[in-house]
Each structure stands twice: as structure tokens, then as C-alpha cells.
Structure 1
Amino acid sequence: MSFEDKKMLIMPAVDIKNGKCVQLVQGKPGTEQVIIENPENVAKSWEDKGAEIIHVIDLDGAIESKDNLETIKKILNEVSVPIQLGGGIRSPEYAKQLLNLDIDRLIIGTMAIKNPEIIAELSKEFGKDRIMIALDSKDSKVVIKGWKEKTDKKATEISKKFQEKGAGSILFTNVDVEGLLEGFDLQPAIDLVKSVDIPIVYSGGITTLNDIKKLSTTGVKGVVIGSALYKDRIDIKEALKYQTIK
């Protein structure tokens, strides 16, 4: 799905761990606050409620270097809207396998940071619109390997490089507030939007409809919502109105 289709895409999150849909606090194993069987049914329920794209993260891939490929395939079979997928994509071969499954947009973090040339290769073969870079920030620095390893760079310091390599968009996750349902600081998102000319998707700490309203003023082109949806802090149908509000 093109970011040009809407003012700001609303993306419900389906995070997979051990074949189940979960919500973690700051990505830490053992902090599961939501555990639901059959992630494919969860994804379908968001589609049924009006979501036009589903944001799927393979937490096992990101944290433990094993994949939930069969569950991902079930989601692809169950839903008809585009799937945006990330988590544990550590080799070009696996990235290509997923893209050939008709994943609409692939989110690549650790592999991109370690070898930016792979982004140029994938972008050339599959088109830049299908390649998204994950820039996850903790204590203002980009973190990789399931948020366990910190780099010495800020997201704004490396974002331009990935635009030049052919990435079509960037997912910015504020790890400091992820899953806490306590709100977040808008400024990092604003700074990142100003640093590049490709779409920025924001994730982390979104708790209320007012948070979505504020993000709609920053220039971000997408918003990932997880815990707030699962804990009924935000109604998906109300959130979806911000896809078209000017």
C-alpha cells in the first residue's frame, strides 16, 4: 500500500511470539501483557474493523533468531489487505523469500545497519516501496538485535544514508516508551521527518486518540498501534478517521 493513498496510515500491530499474538513491554521477553492464540485470526479481525494494512512483527526472529514463518504464511492466507513485516530478517536470502511470498513491505533493521549495501540490492530487485528500514531508538541511540545492542548513532544521523541506498520508508520506534501506555515525546519523530524525503512511520507509546491527533501534525505518514488497541484504550474505528483528516 502506498503512503500516498492516505494522509497518515493507521497500522494495527500483530506481534508474534511462539506462534501466538503478544504484546511485550519495551520488547522484553517475559513481560507479555497480551497473549492471544491464532495471530491470523487477530490480523483478520483488524481487517474486518477497517484496517487497510497490518503491521506484523516476528518477535522470535528479532529476539531469538528463530522464525514464525508458518504463522506468517497463515496471516497472508487469512487477510486480503497488505502486510508490513519485520523481525529477525538477518540474511538477503530470507528477505527475498519473504518478499516473494507477497509481503507488501519488509522492515529491515539489524541487517541494514550492519550492511547497508543489501538495501540497495533489495531495492533494485523488488522496488524501494517494498523496503522499509527499522530505526529503533533507546536513550536517543539506534539499537539492533532485538533492541539488545546499542549503536553510537542517532536515527537522524543515519537516516539519509538509507534514503540514498534506496529505502522507500523508515519505521521509527521509540523503545523508551514502547508498551508502557504512558505517552511519548513528539520531537524525535519531527526531527526524523525533517532529516529525509521518504515516509516515516512512528511506533511507541501511543496511548490515546489525542496521541494520534498530535502525530498527524508532525508529517509522519504512518502510525503503528499495539497495546492501546488490545487494552481498549483506543478504538480502531476512531483511529482510522485520522487516515483522511487534513
Structure 2
Amino acid sequence: MIIYPAIDLKDGQCVRLVQGKVENKTVYSSDPAAMAASFQAQGAQWLHIVDLDGALNGQPQNLKAIKQIAGRIDIPFQVGGGMRRLEDIAAVLEIGASRVIIGTRAVTSPHFMEKILKEFGSDKIILGLDAREGMVAIEGWVEKSSLDALVFGKQMHSLGFKTAVFTDVSRDGLLQGPNLDFTRTIAEQTGLSIIASGGVSSVENIKSLREIEKKGVSGVIIGKALYDGKITIQEALDAAKGGH
């Protein structure tokens, strides 16, 4: 199971929001590239980067910061937030991202997803499956759609998606632990390989997710818990491998 330290970008800074709300913002670093390099030095094998401004504005806003991160690390990274046009996806992949996460556009235009998957391939394009109370959340989590998250996940798998970042928005940034039951259900029933996100706050949470790895949970994203010192990258890596 892969551990993905999260770097959330807002106005070029490394921040964390609570439940995606801009008013609940904490700035952790004005140098995201240094933060990324630090995560790599601590043993991280992947990074998860979110352009928060992009998610809210509908197109990437922090390409400069992403480019700086790419220049400082050797490990692969994935980027989400505002990825709704072919040219934006191409630009982020050109900067050096290994994968791009598509959320809102997958909900509003499933046929466009077929075009994107055909253009870039399912190894480069992964689904951002964000849910609030079982329904898909879009537009930077501001809007709750009338789409059932489980049904949507199945639809996207049938379109050709292989991997999804699944976030229970209600848990994000609260350090209350992930929604294990729903994560397991999404992994078991959609056929997607799931990267779990939202609320991970302890070694125990990672061990619990590892127990459902065989159901289809391939990774876990950790944000606030790392920044607040609740868990170290080494501890997370050990737990993901089954260590103590």
C-alpha cells in the first residue's frame, strides 16, 4: 500500500483546509518545493498535489509551484484540482506529473472522459471520487450533486478508469479517521483501485486500511496528520508494510 503525503497549494503556498473550506485554512509553508523535497528525504515514494485555487476556479492556478516541486524531487507525483480541459491536463503532465486526477469534469461530462482516457491512457488519468453523505461532491467540494458515489464509481470503471482517489469530504482535515466502511464498499463494488483520503490521523488508521487492501485499497493520502506531527512518514510507511 502506497503512502501519499499531500501538498495542497493555495496562492503558491502549502496549506491545509478543513472539509475543503477556504475559511478553515492553515498555511504550513511558503515553499511547497522544499516541503516536497523534505517528504522525499523522509522516504516518501509518491506525492499527492492538489491545486486548491484550480479546483475552485476550474483551471490550474498553481502551475509555477507545481513546476518548482517537479524540479526538486525525483519521485513520481499526481496532481488534481481544476483539471477540466485537455490542454491543462497536457500541461501538468508535461511539467512532470505522473498522473492527473479528474473529479468535477468526470461528473459533468462523462463522454469527455472517454476522450481523455483515449488521449492519455488510464495509467495517466485517475478519477477523483469525492463524496459527502454518500453523494458525489464537485466544484472543489462546494457543491453536492444528486449522484450516488457508488453508482458513479461503477460508471467510471466501465468507462475505463482503473484507479480513483476516494475522499469522504466530511472527514477531511478533522483527524477523526477515514470512513472505513464506505471505503471498503467503494473498493469492493466499483472495481476501481482505491487511494483512500480524508481523516487519516494515526498509524492505527493506516493499519485498518491495510486490512482492506485486498478489497482494492492500494494507497492512502495523508495531509494534516503529517503537518501536525501526529504521524511521521516513516511510521506511515512501516504501517503500510505491516510493521509496527
What TM-score bracket applies, with the shorter chain setting the length?
over 0.9
| Whole-Å separation in 2 of the counterparts to 1:100 and 1:120 | 21
The answer for the alignment partner of 1:5 in structure 2 is: none
Note the C-alpha offset of 1:167: 1.5
The answer for the alignment partner of 1:222 in structure 2 is: 219
TM-score by structure 1 length? 0.93
Per-residue CA deviation, residues 87-114 of structure 1 (Å, 9 max, x unaligned), is 0112122112222333101100011111
2:89 paired residue among 95, 118, 132:
95
* Shift in CA distance, 53/214, structure 1 to aligned 2, threshold 3 Å: same
| Whole-Å separation in 1 of the counterparts to 2:70 and 2:157 | 28
| Whole-Å separation in 1 of the counterparts to 2:113 and 2:90 | 11
More strand by share: 2
| Whole-Å separation in 1 of the counterparts to 2:72 and 2:240 | 24
Q: Structure 1 unaligned segments of length 5 or more: list them.
A: 1-7
Moved more, 66-75 or 229-238: 66-75
Count residues with an aligned counterpart.
239
Per-residue CA deviation, residues 165-201 of structure 1 (Å, 9 max, x unaligned), is 2212011101101001122331110000111323101
TM-score by structure 2 length? 0.93
Which structure 2 residues correspond to residues 189-200 of structure 1 after superposition, within 5 A? 189-200=183-194
1:108 paired residue among 102, 109, 118:
102
Matched, 1:210 2:204: yes
Note the C-alpha offset of 1:140: 1.8
Which structure 2 residues correspond to residues 46-195 of structure 1 after superposition, within 5 A? 46-65=39-58, 67-195=61-189
Computed over aligned residues only, the root mean square deviation of the Cα atoms, in angstroms, reads 1.4
* Shift in CA distance, 19/44, structure 1 to aligned 2, threshold 3 Å: same
1:206 and 1:212 in contact (8 A); partners too? yes
* SS of residue paired to 1:56: strand
The answer for the alignment partner of 1:3 in structure 2 is: none
2:28 and 2:227 in contact (8 A); partners too? no
| Whole-Å separation in 2 of the counterparts to 1:226 and 1:213 | 17
The answer for the alignment partner of 2:37 in structure 1 is: 44
* SS of residue paired to 1:31: strand
Q: Structure 2 unaligned segments of length 5 or more: list them.
A: none
Moved more, 74-83 or 182-191: 182-191
Note the C-alpha offset of 1:227: 0.2
1:231 paired residue among 228, 231, 234:
228
Among all aligned residue pairs of Structure 1 and Structure 2, give the percentage whose two residues are the same amino acid: 38
Per-residue CA deviation, residues 89-146 of structure 1 (Å, 9 max, x unaligned), is 1212211222233310110001111111222222222221111111111122111001
